[in-house]
């Protein structure tokens, strides 16, 4: 009988990719994926440590399984990913019924570890070295890049895929846990990345998003040559059958003109740049150790707008960081007003043990002030997002169709059952705007032209004009 696996994933795209890879490996080992923990004999949580809230959610989900484990002691419960690396043995202390704790650098060991547990070997813990507990080489080796063969059935749709081009981070922003839990920055060889993308395209994938914590810091030395992100994009651009390339997340200081020129000149590279600013105050940026001033960030924005004027830029901001005054916050509001971001992700500062900010700075902005600043900044950004979307009304945009819209999925639409009928679909424009429109399931995975008739800050609404005739027919790159 196949073993039944349930997996719950929180956090960033890197975690979604890790879950896809773990599930694909376990399916090859005879596991079958189920939709509810109740049906499963193995339950895995892929976790995030970036904010306390994400951890609290996992610990309470674990708490809810205590009872199930008492009644079914053979159920295997595992915690993988960033929180596993951060909390290690503490997870067994807080949730003694957990069987498995695996850091992001050991995911390839999961099948063997599950076998060991099933054979009665007891709880298993596999994590990487802490960043200070060995030489850079030793620590680096303890974070093993995990990029096995892909399984298109494990992705939300087989037309889009993430591809990791680097792991880890060396920037050490003072608030951030990522360099500790994801280890030193290491770029993958361009040839490996190309082989993976080619394989995905052979399997029907049309859009690839390259992933890295600081993706534009990508750098790999190979046979006397240094490959940067611009070179890699140039290389991947030649792959026939691939229509769209994206890359996230960018580090402002590494946004050089070569990369922007590549985005401008390579038609498959989508004009979409996620470049977190984090704050609009120099004093706060300095405390965050971000490595740039607001003026430098604005200069970078100006270069983007000069070289790739059609590009949509998105950002992240943290409000209520240690010592943030009302004046600092006003400067952030000003940057959001002037930055004209397509959208921004806004977070309340959450102190993370073992970071510089946690050790050296006071978390002195009260929760209600953080909340107010969060809401205010969000309102400013939402108004801008809608303002930027409004001129698109009446225009045609190119959409890669992803599948049924959220509403259609909620209604339980089964696209296979309604083949040929009209369903509400969703997809994205080159600039990563979400579009909702009526279409047929046959259009899923196709590039279609959609005329927009309404917008809000988050979504464009439209109707299909034609089946795709080639990107050259679209007047607007939006």
Binding site for ligand 5AD (CB under 6 A): 50-51, 175-176, 276, 278, 316, 318, 347, 349-350, 352
Q: Single out the segment in contact with ligand SF4 by CB under 6 A; choices: 13-21, 143-151, 164-172, 372-380.
A: 164-172
| Closest distance of CB 399 from ligand 5AD, Å | 27
- In angstroms, the Cα distances linking 186 to 47, 133, 136, 212, 361 are 21, 18, 11, 10, 29
Cα-based angle 369, 372, 374 (whole degrees, multiple of 5):
105
Specify the stretch interacting with ligand SF4 by CB under 6 A; choose among 59-67, 101-109, 170-178, 435-443: 170-178
Query: Is 178 an interacting residue with respect to ligand SF4 (CB under 6 A)?
Result: yes
Cβ pair 146, 107 in contact under 8 A: yes
Residue 278 per-residue DSSP state: B
- Looking at the Cβ atoms of 159 and 162, the one nearer to ligand SF4 is 162
Per CB under 6 A, 169 contacts ligand SF4: yes
Q: Are 442 and 420 in contact (CB under 8 A)?
A: yes
Quick one: what does residue 92 bind among ligand 5AD, ligand SF4, none, with the CB cut-off 5 to 8 Å set by partner type?
none
CB of 154 to ligand SF4, least distance (A): 25
Binding mask 222-251 for ligand SF4 (x = CB under 6 A): -----------------------------x
Please state whether the peptide bond connecting residue 306 to the residue before it is cis, i.e. omega within 30 degrees of 0: no
Identify which of residues 217 and 429 has a Cβ nearer to ligand SF4 in the complex. 217
Q: Would you state the structure tokens that stand for residue 80, as one six-digit string?
A: 């993988």
Return the number of the residue (172 or 461) whose C-beta is nearest ligand SF4: 172
410-449: buried (b, 16+ CB within 10 Å) or exposed (e) per residue? eeebebeeeeeeebbbbbbbbbbbbbbbebbbebbbebbb
CA distance 402 to 456: 20
Question: Each residue of 348-377: b (16+ CB within 10 Å) or e?
Answer: bbbbbeebbbbeebebebeeebbeebbebb
Among ligand SF4, ligand 5AD, none, partner that 172 touches (CB below 5 to 8 angstroms by kind): ligand SF4
**CB-based contact 88:127 (threshold 8 Å):** yes
Q: Is 112 helix (H, G, I), strand (E, B) or coil?
A: helix
Alpha helices in 352-433 (DSSP H): 356-360, 367-389, 406-410
455: β partners = 460
> In angstroms, what is the minimal distance from the CB of 318 to ligand 5AD?
5
Among 14, 17, 107, 173, binds ligand SF4 (CB under 6 A): 173
Please tell me whether residue 257 adopts helix, strand or coil conformation: helix
Partner touching 95 among ligand SF4, ligand 5AD, none, CB below 5 to 8 Å by kind: none
Q: Which stretch binds ligand SF4 (CB under 6 A): 171-179, 232-240, 360-368, 369-377?
A: 171-179
205 binds, among ligand SF4, ligand 5AD, none (CB under 5 to 8 A by kind): none
DSSP structural state of residue 394: T
CA distance 400 to 220: 31
Q: Does 176 bind ligand SF4 (CB under 6 A)?
A: yes
> Facing residues of 400 across strands?
428, 447
Which one, 131 or 268, has the nearer CB to ligand SF4?
Answer: 131
Binds 171, which of ligand 5AD, ligand SF4, none (CB < 5 to 8 A, cut-off by type)?
ligand SF4
Shortest separation between residue 321's beta carbon and ligand 5AD, angstroms: 8
Q: How far is the CB of 283 from ligand SF4 (least distance, A)?
A: 18
User: Which residues would be at the binding site for ligand SF4 (CB under 6 A)?
Assistant: 169, 171-173, 176, 178-179, 213-214, 251
């Amino acid at each position: 009988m196949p073993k039944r696996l349930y997996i719950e994933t929180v956090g960033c795209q890197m975690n979604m990719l890790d879950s896809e890879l773990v599930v694909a490996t376990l399916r090859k080992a005879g596991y079958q994926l189920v939709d509810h923990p109740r049906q499963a004999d193995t339950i895995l949580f892929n976790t995030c440590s970036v904010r306390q809230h994400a951890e609290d959610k996992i610990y309470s989900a674990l708490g809810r399984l205590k009872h199930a484990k008492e009644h079914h002691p053979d159920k295997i419960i595992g915690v993988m990913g960033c929180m596993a690396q951060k909390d290690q043995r503490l997870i067994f202390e807080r949730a003694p019924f957990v069987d498995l704790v695996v850091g992001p650098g050991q995911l390839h060991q999961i099948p063997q570890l599950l076998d060991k547990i099933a054979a009665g070997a007891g709880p298993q813990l596999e994590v990487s070295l802490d960043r200070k507990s060995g030489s850079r080489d030793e620590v680096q080796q303890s974070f093993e890049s995990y990029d096995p063969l892909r399984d298109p059935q494990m992705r939300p749709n087989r037309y889009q895929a993430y591809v990791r081009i680097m792991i880890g981070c060396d920037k050490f922003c003072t608030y951030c846990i990522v360099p500790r839990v994801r280890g030193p920055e290491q770029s993958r060889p361009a040839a490996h990345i190309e082989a993976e993308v080619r394989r995905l395209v052979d399997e029907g994938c049309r859009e690839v998003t390259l992933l890295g914590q600081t993706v534009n810091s990508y750098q790999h030395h190979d046979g006397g040559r240094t490959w940067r992100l611009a070179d890699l994009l140039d290389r991947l651009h030649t792959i026939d059958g691939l229509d769209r390339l994206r890359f996230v997340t960018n580090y402002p200081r590494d946004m050089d003109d070569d990369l922007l020129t590549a985005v401008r000149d390579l038609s498959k590279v989508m004009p979409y740049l996620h470049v977190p600013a984090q704050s609009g105050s120099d004093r706060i940026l300095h405390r965050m150790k971000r490595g740039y001033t607001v003026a430098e960030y604005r200069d970078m924005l100006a270069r983007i707008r000069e070289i790739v004027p059609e590009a949509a830029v998105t950002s992240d901001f943290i409000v209520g960081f240690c010592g943030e005054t009302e004046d600092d916050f006003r400067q952030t509001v000003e940057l959001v007003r002037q930055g004209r971001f397509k959208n921004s992700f806004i977070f309340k500062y959450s102190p993370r043990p073992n970071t510089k900010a946690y050790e050296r700075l006071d978390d002195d902005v009260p929760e209600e002030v953080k909340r107010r600043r969060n809401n205010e900044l969000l309102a400013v950004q939402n108004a801008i997002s809608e303002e930027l979307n409004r001129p698109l009304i009446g225009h045609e945009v190119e959409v890669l169709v992803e599948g049924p819209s959220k509403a259609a999925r909620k209604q339980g639409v089964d696209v296979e059952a309604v083949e040929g009928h009209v369903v509400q679909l969703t997809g994205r424009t080159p600039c990563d705007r979400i579009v909702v429109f009526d279409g047929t399931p046959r259009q899923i995975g196709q590039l279609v032209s959609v005329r927009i008739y309404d917008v809000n800050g988050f979504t464009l609404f439209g109707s299909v004009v034609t089946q795709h005739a080639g990107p050259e027919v679209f007047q607007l790159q939006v």
